[in-house]
Structure 1
Amino acid sequence: MTSTNKGSQVGGHRTEVDQQKLGPALVITAGVILGMRTIRWEATHSDGLASTEWEKEVEHSVRVAKRVLTFLTTRYPDLFQSKQVPWYVATDDDSPR
């Protein structure tokens, strides 16, 4: 392919899930999972640091929420807000010589 124009040319656009807008969904999903996993726990009050068992549950809930969102964004991207990302045509400078 030969190019006579300088600079990058947009060849088109592809649709991708807007990853920056998934933050609130991750927090809500992790909170729901954490609530479901700890609903039967006895209510306690601690003046000190959080217990290690609680911290493990929070970490596990976030891990599960990430996996759920990854699965959903991969299989069902239409459920989430998307954005148009341009792809560029290679120029002479981009081609190996």
Structure 2
Amino acid sequence: MKHFIYNLEAEGYINRFLTAGTFCKPGEYAKATLSGTVNEWLEKGFSVYENPCRREMIGQRTGVLPEYVDLSEYGLGAEVEVFGCRRQVELYVPFGN
């Protein structure tokens, strides 16, 4: 099946999407040790420290976005490859799965 066809209603919403999920790219980061009261989040309910690996990853990624993948070129069931990981294109219907 290459196409999924459905009728749009007047003033309706587009609520069906093609998706291939989330692609992850493993990375190596410098080891870090947090100091202070790093478990404060258990009492406050939110993190008060920034993850050093996250900070390093964002620094590397700033201004270097991954290639845009246009799923309109793929049909349902086709495979998409990003970061060396392959996933099938699927139909996503929120609230109606």
For the superposition of Structure 1 and Structure 2, which TM-score range results when normalised by the shorter chain? 0.3 to 0.5
Of structures 1 and 2, the one with the larger relative CO (CA 8 A, separation 6+) is 1
Q: Which has the larger radius of gyration?
A: 1
Question: What's the TM-score once normalised by structure 1's chain length?
Answer: 0.32
Question: What's the TM-score once normalised by structure 2's chain length?
Answer: 0.32
